[in-house]
Structure formats: structure tokens, C-alpha cells
């Protein structure tokens, strides 16, 4: 009897989540601009919703990340939206529905303009010299990292990327840091810039291409997700977090 009740409520919960997801997908599937997305999310959530982060990607492209929830009654489902746009027109838009345990339960592309993505990656390569596939690009822009060297109450909560960066710097591993610098994930680029600056202060020389890439990144000066103690989801610019003045 107990097992039957458990299975009943499990199926009921999954059914409710599916309904919320298709409601969100149905409302968003015809959006073709960032403004359309913003207006639709406000209607779905019935609240003023701001993007968690919005930043330039360079070459006329822009990245926006939303989090919102549907809460009809006592149940709710969280959603994530990853947007790449140019002149407000969506070039890539991905919706993820989150399971209550924290993993992605449903996902769909609302927009996927392959031609524009390739155009962006070609221009990105001209500056950063890192060849990226469309698949890797999609993975990087949906990978939400935090730039920090110690979050939490006592400041000891280091991210995996922070620990790896310290390891690469200690080993003088410029190759790994160059690979991160060519990423389309801004937080990973921030870790790379920090590590390369530390190596340069230790007497390591950076190549002209890497100097150019650092210069482009600092002039673009996008915000990165960071933290202060137990406060997560804060943003600061690249030049603020890595100590560069934009004239590198």
C-alpha cells in the first residue's frame, strides 16, 4: 500500500512538472527577440523578472541568462533560459526545466540559428585563436560558473576552476590557461586572465596573440558572476575581479 501511494505521488509530481514545462515552452516558443522573452517571462511568472546576468560577448553579440519559476498553487518548477542575441534578435535560445532535486528534467531549443553561431565562432577565433565547435559553444554558454577564490561564511569554499587555476600557475602551464582564455564562458576567461597575469608577474612571457586576446577581453569588460561570503549571484566586471585596467 505504501509503495503504491509513493508511486502514485511520484507519477503525479512528474505529471505536474511536465505540465509546467510545456506551459513555459508554449509561451516562449514563438519569441524571436530578447524583449519578447522578457515580456513573456513576466506574464508566466506574474512578477517583474530581471536577467540574472546580461553581458556583451563581442562582435555585436550579447548573452543573457534568466531564471524564473511557475508557481500555480503549492507546487512550482524552476526554469533556466540561455539566450544569445544580436541587435536584440535571438540567435540561440535554450529552455531548461529543473527537477526539484536540482538536475535538468526537460530541455529544448526555442531558437537555433546555426549560421549566426558559426559567424560568431569565426570572429571569436580571429581574436582568441581557439577553435570551438557548435556543440562545445552550446555547452560553455549553459555552464554556469562562479568566479571566486573563497565563498562561504569562512571564505574557504573554492571552486574547481579556482583550484585548477592555482595548479596551472604553480606548474607554469600557460597552455591550459590559453585554452581557457579562448573559451566563450566569461567566468572561465576570467580565471585564465588571472592566472596569466600571475605568470607574467613571475617573469613568464605571453605571446602576442595572448596579449591581443587579453586586450580584447578587458576592453569588452563583461560582468562575471561572483560572490561575497555567503552571497552568491553577484556581478563584477572582468577588470574589477582580475585587477586589469582595460589597457593590457
Q: Give CA–CA dist 32/18, Å, rounded.
A: 24
pLDDT tens digit string along 160-194?
999 999 999 999 999 999 999 999 999 999 999 99
* The predicted structure's pLDDT at residue 150: 79
Q: Give CA–CA dist 173/203, Å, rounded.
A: 13
* The predicted structure's pLDDT at residue 176: 96
Q: How many CA atoms lie within 13 A of 123 on its CB side?
A: 11
What does the radius of gyration of the chain's CA atoms come to, in whole angstroms? Answer: 20
CB atoms < 10 A from the CB of 114, how many? 10
Confidence band, pLDDT 50/70/90 cuts, at residue 44: confident
pLDDT tens digit string along 58-102?
999 999 999 888 865 556 788 999 999 999 999 999 999 988 888
Amino acid at each position: 500500500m505504501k509503495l503504491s501511494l509513493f508511486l502514485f505521488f511520484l507519477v503525479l509530481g512528474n505529471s505536474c512538472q511536465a505540465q509546467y514545462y510545456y506551459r513555459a515552452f508554449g509561451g516562449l516558443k514563438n519569441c524571436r527577440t530578447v524583449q519578447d522573452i522578457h515580456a513573456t517571462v513576466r506574464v508566466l511568472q506574474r512578477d517583474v523578472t530581471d536577467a540574472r546576468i546580461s553581458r556583451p560577448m563581442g562582435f555585436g553579440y550579447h548573452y543573457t541568462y534568466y531564471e524564473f519559476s511557475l508557481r500555480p498553487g503549492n507546487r512550482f518548477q524552476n526554469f533556466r533560459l540561455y539566450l544569445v542575441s544580436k541587435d536584440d534578435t535571438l540567435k540561440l535560445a535554450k529552455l531548461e526545466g529543473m527537477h526539484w532535486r536540482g538536475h535538468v528534467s526537460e530541455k529544448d531549443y526555442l531558437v537555433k540559428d546555426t549560421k549566426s553561431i558559426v559567424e560568431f565562432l569565426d570572429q571569436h577565433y580571429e581574436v582568441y585563436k581557439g577553435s570551438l565547435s557548435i556543440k562545445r559553444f552550446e555547452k560553455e554558454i549553459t555552464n554556469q560558473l562562479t568566479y571566486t577564490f573563497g565563498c562561504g561564511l569562512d571564505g574557504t569554499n573554492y571552486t574547481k576552476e579556482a583550484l585548477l587555476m592555482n595548479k596551472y600557475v604553480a606548474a607554469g602551464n600557460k597552455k591550459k590557461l590559453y585554452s581557457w582564455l579562448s573559451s566563450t564562458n566569461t567566468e572561465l576567461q576570467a580565471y585564465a586572465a588571472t592566472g596569466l597575469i600571475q605568470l607574467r608577474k613571475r617573469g613568464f612571457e605571453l605571446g602576442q596573440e595572448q596579449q591581443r586576446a587579453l586586450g580584447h577581453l578587458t576592453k569588452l569588460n563583461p560582468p562575471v558572476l561572483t560572490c561575497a561570503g555567503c552571497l552568491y549571484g553577484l556581478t563584477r566586471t572582468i577588470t574589477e575581479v582580475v585587477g586589469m585596467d582595460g589597457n593590457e
